[in-house]
Structure formats: C-alpha cells, structure tokens
Structure 1
Amino acid sequence: MKKRTFIKLSSALMTAPLFSPLTGWATGEKLKNWAGNLEYGTTKLFQAGPTAQVQDFVKKHTKFKVLGTRHCFNKIADSTDAFISVVQAEENIEIHADGKTVTVNAGLKYGQLSPYLDKKGLALHNLASLPHISVAGACATATHGSGEKNGNLATAVSGFEMVTGAGDIVKLSREKDGEKFLSAVVNLGALGVVTKITLDIQPTFQMNQFVYENLQMTQLKEHFDEIESTGYSVSLFTNWQSRDIAEVWVKRKIEKGENYKPGPTLFGAKLATKNLHPIPELSAENCTEQMGVPGPWYERMPHFKMGFTPSSGKELQSEYFVPRKNAVEAIMAISRLADQVGPHLLTSEIRTIAADGFWMSPCYGQDSVAIHFTWKQDWPAVRRLLPVIEKELAPFHARPHWGKLFTMTPEKLKSLYVKLPDFQKLAKEFDPKGKLRNGFLNTYIYQS
C-alpha cells in the first residue's frame, strides 16, 4: 500500500439520491427530516466547505445547529435560527500510512465511504442498518449496528476535529486525550461542528446472510445467548402480535477456505427460501442480498441498499437500550403489550451492542440489547403507547436512542447518565455562549 492514499470527492458524488442537496442558504423552502414527520424551525441553511468557512459561520452566528442527513425523528438537531451542514462538503479521504485508520470529512455518508475502502482492501468493523447516514451524525448520537462483540459506530472513532461553539479548532484523539475524548465523541450536537473524523479500519472481508422464519418466543427465551452468537451480527424482527419472531437475520463473516452450509432450522425456525424484507408486506428489492450469497462487508451488514429507500420510508421510530443481562426479561415485558403495540407497528427489531466508554452513549458501561420500534406514521397513537412501553422497561433502566422518539421525563432521562453533570460542564467549556443549545438540549441535557 502506498504511504498515503487520497481521494477528492466531487459534489455530484457527495449527493446521495435519497436526500436533496443542501447548497447555500435555503430561501423559503421548508426542510423536513428523512421520514417527513418533522418540519424544521428555520429555512436558513448554510452549506459549509473548508474548515475556515465553518469557523467564519460559527463566529458570525449567535444561535445555530448542525444539520446532517436528517435521519433523527425528534428535535435534537432542530433550530429556529440557522443551520450549517457539512454533508455536501468536498473533502479528502486520507488512508494513513499504517493502513489502520482513515480520516474523512465528517459529513460523508457510510454508503459513500464503504465501497471506497473496500476497493483499497479495507473495512469498518460495523455499520448501521442503513448506509445513508453521515459519519458525524451517527457517532454524535451513538447510532449502532449489531453484534455481541461489536460496539456502536462511534467506537471506531480514534480522533476528530471540531470547530467549537467558541469558534476554536479542537482536535481530540483516543491516544492522547483520554477522558476528554470519551466525553466528546457522542456529543449530541452540543459542543460544536465536527469537520473531520478519523476511524479505525481493518482488512476487508466477505460476508453472507441467512434469514430464518418463525422462531417461537419460547425458544428465544431459552436460547437467547446461543441465537445471538450464531453470527457476526444478528437481528430479530417481530410484530409482537404473532407471539413469535417472524425473521432472524444472521450475518456471517466468511472465513478463508471455509465450506459453510447453514442448517435447515435454527432452534425450530426454518431457513428462508427467498429474500425477505424486515417488514413482511414489502418487497425485498431494497434489501441487501440474502440466501447465503457472498458479498463485501458493506453490502451485507446494512439491511438496506444505499441507492434505495431504506425501511418503509414513511414511518416513525423509537428504540430503547437495556443491559444485556436483562435482555430476555425486557423482551418478555414488551411481548405482554402485543395487543396494544402490534396494530401500530410496521416491525420491531432486537439487536445486541457491545459496551463502550462514551459518557452520553446508551451503551456506556454495559453490554446492551436494543429493542427498536418502526411505527406507522400515526404520532397520536405512538405518543400514547410510548409511556406504556417506557413503564414496562423502567425496571431495567432503559435508555432511549437520542435521535428517536420517546416521552421519558427529563428527570428520568438525566438519572440514567452518571456522567451528565460532567458533560454539562464540558458543553459550557466548548460552547460558553450556548450557541448550539436548542429546545431539546435545554430540556434533556441542561438544567433549564
């Protein structure tokens, strides 16, 4: 490998087909999030380029937020004043000399970075269920993939550059900055504008995935750990009403020289004979290849292809993280709500995530299981159900996903993060004038 490898991404490449380009200042057109359930509070949006432009913007504005690929379902990234985006910025991808890290523009999407890395014989350790999200946005909210030994996407970060709310350029690394680094990676958009991120990489690898249908809940209860250990990444899909797991997606890392053949059953679930969608009513056309067909890591770890609409498109999402040790109890608690929850669901997904040390991560200090809900777009119904779900999961100290819908009280949420007081101090240090504060952060992070 050459000492350094660079690529200059054109603005055409940086514009993924699923999201409209964000160039210059918007002039009256209302911006909405990916699912269309949220209309943002301002049309003022500046498309930043080099870091110097970001600094200039930050210094000139008294209030603003950073807008990424707009995949959050709540108002964590909303502003009534102004937005800045680095999603379309032209920037270099730099593979470092040792081949173990890569530095990218923070607004780059995983679906753009991944195939480039693969062509260079490299890979990331994990990806989310959809590749359409930006690196910075995913890491800031502790977005995750799946796998017993796989941490969320932020755990690949070894360093980053940020323009703070004070307009200063700050560079932090895992190697040099210890706790300060751990405090700022999952930053919830509260500290500044992340401009560059350095990620751990590894040699590329091939994967395949198999789907099993109709796993009885009793089998899941008795064999949860064994089921979750059957692959590099395992996802369980259910609508709860059927009283079983409709689909078990097993994503396997192909070992060199192996001759693997899947069993016809997995604890009673039957091997699928065709590609499936996590939402049974939808075509699998948008999904990554199944049926054991080998492919590169980035075309198997996500559930959905980059060039297609992920999931159903028009939906709402909620997700709760519970300690791995309480996984079965938490799943059984939700199963008791089947008749209430089921009619309003498109699907529900259960995944495992390894522990991390990031202060504001839902997986801070604990191996976790995430119970995800993909809802029909009926907010009044979902708003009535979320408190019921949160009450059932309360004994397990469930932490909600920062970018998805929840109704937990600020007091309850704050009690779940032991490092929150320290994070508040950090935010005041990085953003002394509160330029990045908004209604969401004031409610759930700050005292006001």
Structure 2
Amino acid sequence: MAGNWAGTYEYRAPRHIVVSDEDELRAALAGTGPVHALGTRHSFTDLPDTTGTLIEMAAFDRPITIDEASRTVRVTAGTRYGVLAAQLHTAGWALHNTGSLPHISVGGATSTGTHGSGDGNGVLSSAVAGIRFLDAAGEAHEVRRGDADFEALVVGVGAFGILTELTLDIQPTYLVRQDLYAGVTWDTLLGDIDAVTSAGDSVSVFTRWGEDLGWVWVKRRAMDAEATAPEELLGGRLSATLEPLGLGDNVTVIGAAGPWYERLPHFRADAEPSRGDEIQSEYFIDRADAAAALRAVREVVGPYTEHLIWTELRTAASDDLWLSGAYQRDAFIIHFTWENHPDEVTEALTLIEPVLAPFHARPHWGKRHLMERAQIERVSPRLADARAVFERLDPTGRFVNEHLVRVGLREAR
C-alpha cells in the first residue's frame, strides 16, 4: 500500500481497510490478529504500522456538534483540523491553537501530542475534554476529564484502541495577525529567550544554525481587521513577505489580521502542506534549559545543515497528560525538517540526541528519532504507568506493534 504523506515511509501492513463509521470499524475489528489505526499519514516512522490490518480513519468524519453551555465541540476522530476550524469559526467559536498544518486529523494529532506554539498555549491534546474509543472487541468506551485513565489515554499513541470521537474545549472566535521579522540575532535569542517567545501569542523561530539566526514568525491576536504590527522586534525588522522561508505559495496570509483558523496554521488548508519529500524530527525540553540546549546543538549540527531544510523553535505550556512532551514542564521545542536523506539524518541524530540528553529531551511520538525504551523511560516519568494502562485495556495485544514495543509503550508479544 502507499506510504506516509511525505513519501518517506512505506507502510508494510498486508491488509488495509478504510472505515467511515463505528459499524464499519467494529466489522474491521472482528476476529483476531494485530490491528492499528491510521490517520492522515503525517507520522514519519512505523508508529501507525502493523503486521496485520491497518484501519484508515481519514474518512471517519461527520458534522461537528457544539455545546455552547459547556464550551465544547464533539468531533469525529478522522476530521481534519482545517475542516473543524472552518465550521467552528462559522458558528462563532474557535480552538485555543492549531498545529502548523491544518491537514492533520484531530484523532491522530492529539494522540501524538502534536502542538502549535505559544508560551501560554498547551499542546493540541490539552484541549481534549473527552474521548470515545473502541477496544479490540469493538466495545465502545467514553472517558472524560477527571475520570480514571484520562491523563494516560489522551496522548495514547494508538496503543490501546481506536478513537472514534473527541470532545474539545472551545472559546469565542478571534482574529490573528501574523508577521515575519528578520535580523534578530543569536545573542538576543540566547540572552533572553523569553523575550522572543513571548513576542506574540504564537511564535516560531526559523533557523539553519548559521551565523545569522534566521527569522522570527510572530502571530498575535488582534482586536480588529485594522490591527498593525510593530516595525521592529528586538532589533529585527518587519518583512513584507514570507518568501525568505522558501515555503512556497501554500502559506497563510501575512501582514493583515484575519480569522484565527486562517492565520495560526503555517499552511493553507486548500493547498498541499509544507513541501513533502522530507523527514521530520522533534524534541521537547524544559524551557528553562533552552539556551543551554541550543548552544549544545549548535556545536554538533553544523556538518549536517546541508541536509536541513529548516529548524523551527517553538514553545508550549505545561500540562498533566502523561505522555505529552510538555508533561509537568513548560516546553521549548526543537524541530528539524530534513531533506529526504535518511542515512545523513540518522548520522545527525546520533550527534544531536546525546547533546540533548542532559536536558531530558522527549521525542515527538510521530517524528523520526533514535530513542528507545530505556532512554524514553528516563525522560517520561509516567511511561511505565501509561504502559500498564494500555496493557490492561488491550490484554491480548492486538494494538501492539514493533514501534510501540521499541519505545516502551507496550510489552512485546
């Protein structure tokens, strides 16, 4: 069958089924043998793969249901964020944040701890107020915030069942203006990282680790459509275009306020995301260690920058979800988008991961990394507890695959 969105991983599952509702999903779960859910194919590893049946959930989408009294929305797991966001905005509502790609599914993104940016913004999973999932026998379960196992299951990495619906927190809709700044220096960033990352509601630093830092992409909530932006930011100057980032013409609008869902993502929902033919890696560290960690990476990454498209630096607020990269610590996130050069990427990670180890770096579950069970257990204090929950909910191991065993999320069968 086909591979992931970027074309850098080929799924090996011998059987592939597309389902569009719970009845079809129950039929797919009937019988025995390994199964696993597949979302919008935005993982960069064998995380969603299986030796049995791969159950594709991208067609599992329905109109959303908004509960204004509780300020929540009920959405099916296969719904893409871009679709959800447009429907929410039309109804006068919004999410607290989005990822850089609106093409990802709600179920897949929240299950892997995917995020946007912002010192005060939790990862996308932090908006989850409840989940509905089917277990290996096709039985439905609902778990809400405050219930036992909730903190283990929200970032559940497909390890215990298949999500069918999620309930998310929402808020009144709002406007966002985004702007790009050139000329902020490494000295400025390393001297006061908080000053940079707090410059907007969502801030991304794009760098290739050279003498020049690169670009600071700032997204600010706006009171009205006429909102302006400062011409200067920490010594950097406002750019009139996003062209310096080389992301093509599929990016969202810069320099004018507009609906949140058209500004918070980096890429337009009606165009192909990013550039494809790429490999991504990403690590979460404590925000307090950001400057030291960046200095350490700068010491080793130089020989591999010819294989690097961009590094993006972002932040996320702490949460209590056991497998979140921001679990109980405000996170600074170091992201690498690499050319599709797998051998060179592996070589680079063999240097990057050791220098990040003293900072207890946690990998993004859906992106390329080299960390295995023992290493991840040292940096994810609730990994063993989450694994115990998954083993209890799936005692026969139907959702176990090689990747989950390798990273310590399930026991081998």
Shorter chain as denominator, the TM-score bin is over 0.9
Query: Structure 1, unaligned stretches of length 5 or more?
Result: 1-29
Once the 2 structures are TM-superposed, how far is the Cα of residue 313 of structure 1 from its aligned partner?
A: 1.2
Q: Deviations over 1:155-213 (max 9, x none)?
A: 111011000124321100014x0x41111100010010100101111100001011001
1:185 aligns with 2:154: yes
Q: Deviations over 1:402-434 (max 9, x none)?
A: 100111232111222221222122112211110
Instruction: For 1:380-399, list aligned pairs within 5 A.
Output: 380-399=343-362
2:204 to 235, 250, 253: 235
- Is the 2:304–2:344 contact (alpha carbons within 8 Å) kept by the matching residues of 1? no
SS of equivalent to 2:165 = strand
Could you say which residue in structure 2 is the equivalent of 1:98?
Answer: 69
TM-score calculated relative to the size of structure 2: 0.96
1:219 aligns with 2:156: no
Could you say which residue in structure 1 is the equivalent of 2:12?
Answer: 41
Could you say which residue in structure 2 is the equivalent of 1:249?
Answer: 217
1:157 aligns with 2:128: yes
Query: Structure 2, unaligned stretches of length 5 or more?
Result: none
Cα gap change, 1:440 to 1:49, in 2 (>3 Å): same
1:303 to 261, 266, 270: 266
Once the 2 structures are TM-superposed, how far is the Cα of residue 447 of structure 1 from its aligned partner?
A: 4.3
Could you say which residue in structure 2 is the equivalent of 1:12?
Answer: none
Instruction: For 1:33-432, list aligned pairs within 5 A.
Output: 33-98=4-69, 100-175=71-146, 177=147, 179-240=148-209, 242-255=210-223, 260-276=227-243, 278=245, 280=246, 282-283=247-248, 285-291=249-255, 293-432=256-395
SS of equivalent to 1:337 = helix
Inter-partner Cα distance in structure 2 for 1:156 and 1:80: 32
Question: Counterpart amino acid of 1:289?
Answer: V
SS of equivalent to 1:227 = helix
Pairs aligned (count): 411
Inter-partner Cα distance in structure 2 for 1:408 and 1:244: 30
Once the 2 structures are TM-superposed, how far is the Cα of residue 46 of structure 1 from its aligned partner?
A: 1.5
Question: Counterpart amino acid of 1:286?
Answer: N
Inter-partner Cα distance in structure 1 for 2:165 and 2:74: 7
Inter-partner Cα distance in structure 2 for 1:85 and 1:316: 22
Instruction: For 1:16-31, list aligned pairs within 5 A.
Output: 30-31=1-2
Q: Deviations over 1:312-352 (max 9, x none)?
A: 21111000110011011111111222422311100000000
Once the 2 structures are TM-superposed, how far is the Cα of residue 260 of structure 1 from its aligned partner?
A: 4.8
Question: Counterpart amino acid of 2:185?
Answer: Q
Percentage of matched positions with identical amino acids: 38
- Is the 2:175–2:224 contact (alpha carbons within 8 Å) kept by the matching residues of 1? no
* Superposition CA RMSD, Å: 1.6
Q: Deviations over 1:88-141 (max 9, x none)?
A: 125241111416111011100001111111010100001000100000000100
Inter-partner Cα distance in structure 2 for 1:90 and 1:105: 5
- Is the 1:144–1:152 contact (alpha carbons within 8 Å) kept by the matching residues of 2? yes
Inter-partner Cα distance in structure 2 for 1:130 and 1:336: 30
SS of equivalent to 2:192 = helix
Inter-partner Cα distance in structure 1 for 2:223 and 2:324: 32
1:434 aligns with 2:397: yes
Question: Counterpart amino acid of 2:13?
Answer: T
- Is the 2:122–2:317 contact (alpha carbons within 8 Å) kept by the matching residues of 1? yes
